Structure 1
């Protein structure tokens, strides 16, 4: 399907549409399924300029393989939802941007939307919108790429993305020890450039990346600063650990509701205690919790902690947006999708 064909189909639609690429995230809106997988292909890749432009339906694996061939990567470390959600299909770069899918490196590099240079989108009226460009500092007026990244297809169909990419560091190691969320906060507060801070399987994980000599120095200095006993996981062992954190590996194949909770890192331990110590994978230094727990008590405790929870697997209930956010969302929805074609997730 070409962009113009998609625009004509949306313009002529009179019933809800469920947009998707590989439909791997397991949260498709109600309506006729409309796949964007045909909008595939890398249109531009300039390694020297750290810039890539691809159709929204381009498989994420294809993008990552192309970048790896030039010693580069997507800095925001997007999650693969298939193991957690039991879905099939192929994740696409458009789906990643629509979901603002950002992994453990977000604590230092930023989110997916922070690497989006520009987008092409078809809105609910069938209009093709172009926002941003192919270089940094190209935005005038409203920053529409940041708006559509994370909209999960509720405002329009992303057809093309332009991204900034980054070099792969020379080496990486992970310090594996104990101490939980307070140690994550302490590690992130040091000058040693921690690029991942998580708790998984009862182990505290702190990642360091960069030039080999720099990593070796920072590894020793960080361990000394934090105290305690630390084991060093290097290279492939380190990468495997962070893939598990990124994809919430400990919950794969296990039944039960899974919740994604965002809150202030300083409130993470209090929330876990209030919930009776549920199974958890803690990321972003405590700012992101993946919980395998029933949602009956969870929503109330998350609200008390000033957080936001979304049920990503196994339950129908989801926390509502705050009134001010809901009003803003409704206004944007009316502007970009006045006929309500694109369902809310």
Structure 2
């Protein structure tokens, strides 16, 4: 174990276990860091615990479409390795460095801890849906393992889904097993310009109800975008059918290269880079239009993803005002806004969350206050 300017930096899982055992005994709060690109944590009290050195691919079997990697492995390294084999992480984890001003490199553990899911979620599911298993160290320093290396071996209590999205408050991830999928050989995008959010939601609803496997449905700056991916003949066929379906619109079509560039920016919320408060809001797509109208009254800007199921709001507004409009609003970039970053939970969920934390982190040392202050 090394200590760098009051920062703990374990080299492996065993050292991490030793650190957590000691910290738990002393009730010393810890602030968990990987790449530092997912969540603002500077406001959390505690000694920084940098786990980025617990890194490296353990095994990758393209034929089995299975990847096992240590949690600190950089995402770009994993994505390049998969690309060379014609595969990808289908959940399309966003890179929020531009949004949060992070200088680090996103890690696979950070993506799992945040359940980071990009535009393709509407087609392939969320990050946790591709997680086969994991290893982690809990608050008292116990090394735990759950799940398997293939879907048929994932039995028993599914701690993997519990840890995915817990933001390091239940345990520190050390290794993850993930299902990979072949990447799309072809892709195209249809753009509907000069419309508002209400019309965009109508387009999304109609397109997503078709069998044409739309893999992205987003709205930004007066344009609704629909993405199609697959084998070249499939993409050509689906694109033609959608063009016929929406023939009354003036539709722009983007080729594969332009599609990749556009959706990378939409995935990473590059359009809202800056210093203003940024909110991530989960809604029912059927409620999106009413919520967006009220958000516009606050004076900020809005974009949509997941066919209207995800709203990004950038601009002024107090936390109480935002959550009165949209209860499931998470403050991704504070921009001077005080108060809880995560939305309040229902009383029953709060009791369950507290009991889980008492089980996995009885001393309360892991990212204390991150998800409730």
Normalising to structure 1: TM-score of the pair?
0.96
Give the conservation status (yes or no) of the 8 Å contact 1:177–1:229: yes
User: What residue is the counterpart of 1:8 in the other structure?
Assistant: 18
The separation in 2 between residues aligned to 1:61 and 1:234, in whole angstroms, is: 24
Give the conservation status (yes or no) of the 8 Å contact 2:296–2:302: no
Give the conservation status (yes or no) of the 8 Å contact 1:122–1:156: yes
Q: Secondary structure at the match of 1:7?
A: helix
Q: Secondary structure at the match of 1:338?
A: coil
Pairing partner for 1:109 from 102, 105, 124:
124
User: What residue is the counterpart of 2:196 in the other structure?
Assistant: none
Give the conservation status (yes or no) of the 8 Å contact 2:38–2:114: no
Task: Give the length in aligned residue pairs.
Answer: 340
Give matches, 1:191-210, under 5 Å: 191-210=211-230
The separation in 1 between residues aligned to 2:67 and 2:156, in whole angstroms, is: 23
User: What residue is the counterpart of 2:33 in the other structure?
Assistant: 20
Q: CA deviation at 1:275?
A: 2.4
User: What residue is the counterpart of 1:233 in the other structure?
Assistant: 254
Give the conservation status (yes or no) of the 8 Å contact 2:40–2:100: no
Give matches, 1:19-58, under 5 Å: 19-28=32-41, 29-58=44-73
After the TM superposition, which segments of 4 or more aligned residues of structure 1 sit over 6 Å from their partners?
none
Give the conservation status (yes or no) of the 8 Å contact 1:169–1:210: yes
Structure 1 portions without partners, runs of 5+? none
Pairing partner for 1:293 from 315, 324, 338:
315
Q: CA deviation at 1:78?
A: 0.4
Q: CA deviation at 1:133?
A: 1.0
Q: CA deviation at 1:257?
A: 0.8
Q: Secondary structure at the match of 2:296?
A: coil
The separation in 1 between residues aligned to 2:39 and 2:243, in whole angstroms, is: 40
Q: Does 1:271 align with 2:276?
A: no
Q: Secondary structure at the match of 2:136?
A: strand
Give the conservation status (yes or no) of the 8 Å contact 1:100–1:113: yes
Q: Does 1:344 align with 2:369?
A: yes
Give matches, 1:155-234, under 5 Å: 155-178=170-193, 179-227=199-247, 228-234=249-255
The separation in 2 between residues aligned to 1:201 and 1:137, in whole angstroms, is: 44
The separation in 2 between residues aligned to 1:295 and 1:19, in whole angstroms, is: 29
Q: CA deviation at 1:272?
A: 1.1
User: What residue is the counterpart of 2:305 in the other structure?
Assistant: 283
Normalising to structure 2: TM-score of the pair?
0.89
Give the conservation status (yes or no) of the 8 Å contact 2:34–2:110: yes
The separation in 2 between residues aligned to 1:138 and 1:299, in whole angstroms, is: 41
The separation in 2 between residues aligned to 1:251 and 1:164, in whole angstroms, is: 31
The separation in 2 between residues aligned to 1:164 and 1:229, in whole angstroms, is: 39
The separation in 1 between residues aligned to 2:317 and 2:358, in whole angstroms, is: 31
The separation in 1 between residues aligned to 2:213 and 2:132, in whole angstroms, is: 25
Give the conservation status (yes or no) of the 8 Å contact 1:187–1:226: no
Give the conservation status (yes or no) of the 8 Å contact 2:38–2:111: no
**Aligned Cα root-mean-square deviation (Å):** 1.2
Q: CA deviation at 1:335?
A: 0.8
